[in-house]
Each structure stands twice: as structure tokens, then as C-alpha cells.
Amino acid sequence: MSVNLATMLREGTKKSHTMAENTGFVACFLKGTVEKKSYRTLVANLYFVYAAMEEEFERLQDHPVLSKIYFPVLNRKESLERDLQFYFGADWKNSVKASAATQAYVERIHAVAKETPELLVAHSYTRYLGDLSGGQILKKIAQNGMNLTDGNGTAFYEFDDIEDEKAFKGTYRAAMDELPVDQAMAERIVEEANDAFGMNMNMFQELEGNLIKAIGMAVFNALTRRRSRGSTERSAATAS
């Protein structure tokens, strides 16, 4: 039995999607405010999430449901490793660790893989389709916001083995609609997808402290420069 799962997920997670986009970190990022320390921490956190998800998908690649949406071309772990080497250096593995929210996310991925593997569909949908949908826009924002060049630090957004991302998304959604799950399981998958959005929001919210600090410092520096210019202009006027 199959259900229209792709549509159920799109409609059933609209509110969560909007809430995630309205977190302070994401909202600032989409407006071009990218603070490097916060961003590289996000890259590190995403590494742990994708490592867990891809480990479980590989282990369960013959599962009657998961096998239908097992697309190794989507894997992000290796691209995140390249980004981490750029941001943290060759010894990056000893420089990064999962935050509290990330660790909870990782534990949930392993738990559902063990108890109800079908729910991994929700985690795959939440992350991979989002990556494909906004990847190039987010890549440009990151490049502009941190003055990155030559693809350095943005490997995460590159799907080198997918020629047509829009067509691939269509293939992925069609595969979801053919999954052998009943209505009850489909509803559980939608619920899990909403929980996954919540876990992503928790990760974003952890990053807001550094971002607010950076914005505050930028505003302070701008005001200081403005006052300095004003003082100089007054001194020049007095001297003349």
C-alpha cells in the first residue's frame, strides 16, 4: 500500500519550516549576515548529524522502505569533512564536538533506526530536500558574507554527482510516494519530520549567542567610527 507521502510531508511541515526559517540565526543568514565562528560551528554540528544519518542508511540500505530512497549521491559527510578542514585545519577532528542539541538529534536518528527504521524517511526528507532546494542560494550568501572564493568552505552545497537538481527532487518525491507504508505510518513520518525541524531549530538557537555578539560588535564599531569621524570633523572646523 502506498500513500501520497511527499505531499503529506510538504503540507504537514509548512508551519515547522516557516518557524525554522524565522529563528534568529537563519533569518540573519538569509539576509546576508554570516558570522564565521557561528557558521563553522554549524558545519561541525551538521557533520555529526549527517554522519549518523548516512551510517544508518548504509546499514539499512536493503530495508524494504529505506532502500527506495537510498541515494548515496545525496551524502554530505565527505563534503562536510572538506569544509571542516578548511575552517579548522588538518587536525579538525580534534577541534570539533557535537553541541548538546546536536547530540540529542544524533541520538534520535540512531534510536529510530533501531526501533522504527521507516521514520528515517522523515530525517532524510527534512535535510536532503532542503539542501537541494536552497543550496545554491545559501552557498552564494555564505561566500558573500565571509568573502569565500574558489569553492572554499562551501563544499556542503555542492552535489557534484547530480546533474539536474530540480529533476532529482522530482525523482526523490516520486520515490517517496511509492514507499510501501500505510496511512498510519505516513502520519508518524510527518510527525517525525516536524520533530526533526524542531531539532534543527534547537541547533540554530544555540548559535545565536555568538551571532548576537558579532552583530553587537559590528554596530559598536560602526558607531565608534562615526563618532571618530565626527570628532575629527569638529576638530578640523575649529582649527580652520
By C-alpha distance, which of 239, 64, 30 is closest to 134?
Answer: 30
Q: Which CATH architecture has domain 5-206?
A: Up-down Bundle (1.20)
Q: How many CB atoms lie within 10 A of CB 123?
A: 25
Provide the greatest CA pair distance for the chain. Answer: 87
The pLDDT score that the predictor gives to residue 239 is 54
The pLDDT score that the predictor gives to residue 236 is 54
| DSSP3 helix / strand / coil % (the chain, rounded to 5) | 80, 0, 20
Query: What are 207-220's pLDDT values in tens digits?
Result: 987 655 555 444 43
pLDDT along the chain (240 residues), means of 10: 88 95 89 89 97 98 98 97 97 96 98 98 95 87 91 93 94 96 97 98 87 49 53 53
The pLDDT score that the predictor gives to residue 208 is 84
The pTM of this model reads 0.87
The pLDDT score that the predictor gives to residue 136 is 81
Helix (H) or strand (E) holding 140: helix 130-146
Whole-angstrom distance, CA of residue 141 vs CA of residue 155: 14
